[in-house]
Amino acid sequence: MEYFFYHHEASTIESTLPQILEKCIIKNWRALIKTRVDHLVELDDFLWTFKADSFLPHGRDDQPRVQHHPIVLSSSAKTADSFQVVFLLAGSDIKKLNGVERCIVFIDGRSERSINYERSRWRKLKAEGEKLNYYQQNPIGEWIKKV
């Protein structure tokens, strides 16, 4: 498995997330998005309406037939067994990532708390020998690979 950290500076997480999710759909990858419970409804609504002419098909893990959705939103998932990609938002975590190909971590560059938490996660994963990638936005919003 490979970790991808995206440190947002010029744009918001909400502007980046749909772009990566669209790529997951094209590759037929199932994606799990783990976030705080207070962010779940807002994120759910956003993915249905982020573009006037399209949406991202998804469901929440607290609703029926979630196994049929290519994108699943959760605030409580403990494992990610049937997903190729896991997104960790707002400092969320999942203990078991068996079978996952990519874990994508978003860092809110406007939040010291987010930056510090994800730095700690990075150090822990690095000490465990995980494969890590780190991208940071420049002032005009381009992604620069730092590691």
**pLDDT, tens digit (0-9, with 9 covering 90-100), for 71-88:** 999 999 988 988 999 999
pLDDT of amino acid 108? 94
Look at residue 26 in the predicted model and tell me its pLDDT: 96
Q: Is residue 30 part of a domain?
A: yes
Amino acid at 42: E
Query: How many angstroms from the chain centroid is the CA of residue 47?
Result: 13
Which residues form the domain of 114?
A: 2-36+76-145
**Helices (H) and strands (E) in the chain — how many of each?**
3, 8
pLDDT at 52: 85
Give dist(CA 5, CA 72) in Å, integer.
20
141 occurs within a structural domain: yes
Q: Give domain status of residue 118, yes or no.
A: yes
**Is 96 among the domain residues?**
yes
Q: What is the CATH number of the domain that holds 126?
A: 3.40.50.10110
43 occurs within a structural domain: no
For 116-121, the CB contacts below 8 A with 24+ separation are: 117/91, 118/5, 118/7, 118/91, 121/93
Residue 70 counted as domain residue: no
Digit-coded pLDDT (tens) for 14-67: 999 999 999 999 999 999 999 999 999 999 999 999 888 888 999 999 999 989
Q: Across the chain, what does the average pLDDT equal?
A: 94
How high is the pLDDT of residue 17? 96
**95 confidence band (pLDDT: 50, 70, 90):** confident
Q: Between β-strands 85-88 and 102-108, what pairing exists: parallel, antiparallel or unpaired?
A: parallel
State the greatest distance between any 2 C-alpha atoms of the chain, in Å, as a whole number: 44
**What gap in Å lies between CA 85 and CA 50, rounded to an integer?**
21
pTM equals 0.93
In a domain, 140, yes or no: yes
What total of structural domains would you count in the chain? 1
Beta strands 131-137 and 85-88 are unpaired
Does a structural domain hold residue 42? no
Provide the CB-side half-sphere exposure for 90 (13 A, CA): 12
Task: Answer yes or no: are the C-beta atoms of 4 and 86 closer than 8 Å.
Answer: no
